Amino acid sequence: MAWCLGGFRAPRVSGPPYPRPPRLRVLREADLGKVFISKPALVTSSPRARRLKFRPPPGPGLTGRDRVGTDVAKLATPEVKTKEKADIGDLPGVGPATAEKLREAGYRDLLSIAVAAPGELAEVADLGEAVAMKVINAARQLADVGGFETGDVIMERRAQVGKLTTGSKALDELLGGGVETQSITEFYGEFGSGKTQIMHQLAVNVQRPKDDGGLEGHVVIIDTENTFRPERITQMAEALDLDAKEVLTRIHVARAFNSHHQMLLVEKATELAREYPVRLLVIDSLTAHFRAEYVGRATLANRQGKLNTFMHDCLRFGDLNNAAIAVTNQVHAKPDAFFGDPTRPVGGHVVGHTATFRLYLRKSKGGRRIARLIDSPHLPEGEAVINVIEDGIRD
């Protein structure tokens, strides 16, 4: 089985196997409205367009001009769709080199700069704090920092929220009916606590009909630890009397080799979601790369900034596609905890505040796991006991 560096392994069947579920019209159109304000001039002046322009004329059948025309036109579509890329360079005081540094650091759109802290931006882009502040202010004026929405509009969007079953009734109940779309649900715990098993189960369940607790959709998995196992999917699918081969064709997996790659893959997932009805995004694990790459206190601000950007990209994916986002997280021992359980999830406040639901998984006797709901906007704290068996996640 070959992993493909750039993206997700495409399923073997051609069209989507289910009728495409209705899109979140409001969000899509709103998004498109924003997207299409980009300027064609920026598109043709991108480095790639320039390179294409000076290509030698191709072989017989096509004139050079045709070829150039076609290529630039083809290129225009994706560039137009990611208008944010061009717009960072539009900020006063941001030259090409600074823009590149900002993008490298994960600031890919105006909004991420508009909400950044001056010190953080100064550090990643080698700017003075005063300049950073000026850039941020300019971004605030240019970016759509998000107007206010009335409660009824939010209510309407909430009405679209779907719930995805975990396979365990008790765990679903703890979550208020299942893993919600348009939110991030975080599962954290030690090695072997069952996080990856739950991700596999969700990847199978999301494909099921709504009456069976599914969302009738595809899943995108960003695998950072190389723990995705198709064999395990097969076991879980067969336990539910599903055609395992078909189930596998609706699971799009990409290995993320580092945190930067992991961030790019969310963009790729957005492209994939234009083709398939992706209703679940899995990040297993959310923090492993960030934790390994950013060691020591000096890099902490940088790491947290990127993690924040990443999680907000995930949330945006969830909003646009009415998809659920399930992430796993590791724990570390907190030495200054005097009583209670000294383990804490990695990622500090950034992860804590961005994940809508946090579940702490612990191993218990006889293969059982205890899931504890730590943080939720509208649900009481509580615990559920689940079992990880060959069939998957069960009560």
Whichever of 143 and 247 has its CB closer to ligand ADP, that residue is 247
* Residue of the chain from 106, 178, 189, 347 that contacts ligand ADP (CB under 6 A): 189
Q: How are strands ordered across the β-sheet holding 251-255?
A: 251-255, 218-223, 278-284, 324-329, 184-189, 357-363, 368-375, 382-389, 392-394
CB of 199 to Mg ion, least distance (A): 8
Residue 191 as a binder of ligand ADP (CB under 6 A): the answer is yes
Residue pair 134/183 in contact by the 8 Å Cβ criterion: no
Q: Which residues share a beta bridge with 362?
A: 370
Q: Is 154 exposed, middle or buried (0-12, 13-18, 19+ CB in 10 A)?
A: exposed
Q: Which residues pair with 384 in a beta bridge?
A: 371
Instruction: Name which position in 63, 117, 389, 395 contacts ligand ADP (CB under 6 A).
Output: 389
Residues numbered 263 to 292 that lie near ligand ADP (CB under 6 A) are none
Residues 146-205, interacting with Mg ion (CB under 5 A): 195-196
CB of 236 to ligand ADP, least distance (A): 9
At its nearest, how many Å lie between ligand ADP and the CB of residue 191? Answer: 4
What residues does 179 pair with on adjacent strands? 164
Residue 330-369 contact track with ligand ADP, rule CB under 6 A, x = bound: -------------------------------------x--
Question: How open is the CA angle 287-5-317, to the nearest 5 degrees?
Answer: 55
SS3 235: helix
Q: Which residues pair with 373 in a beta bridge?
A: 359, 382
With binding defined as CB under 5 A, does residue 262 bind Mg ion?
no
Q: How far is the CB of 71 from ligand ADP (least distance, A)?
A: 44
Please tell me whether residue 194 binds ligand ADP under the rule CB under 6 A.
yes
- CA distances 7 to 171, 206, 227, Å, are 32, 21, 17
Residue 224 lies near Mg ion (rule: CB under 5 A): no
Check residue 390 for interaction with ligand ADP (CB under 6 A): yes
Site stretch for Mg ion (CB under 5 A), options 37-45, 106-114, 150-158, 219-227:
219-227
| Partner in contact with 160, chosen from Mg ion, ligand ADP, none, beta carbon below 5 to 8 Å by kind | none
Given a contact cutoff of 8 angstroms between Cβ atoms, the answer to whether 288 and 224 are in contact is yes
Which residue type sits at 359?
L
| Segment interacting with ligand ADP (CB under 6 A) among 40-48, 78-86, 193-201, 335-343 | 193-201
Residue 193 binding ligand ADP, by CB under 6 A: yes
Paired tokens of 206: 């999301």
Angle at CA of residue 251, ends 246 and 252, nearest 5°:
135
Which pair of tokens denotes residue 203? 């990847």
The contact set with Mg ion (CB under 5 A) reads: 195-196, 227
The contact set with ligand ADP (CB under 6 A) reads: 189, 191-197, 235, 367, 388-390
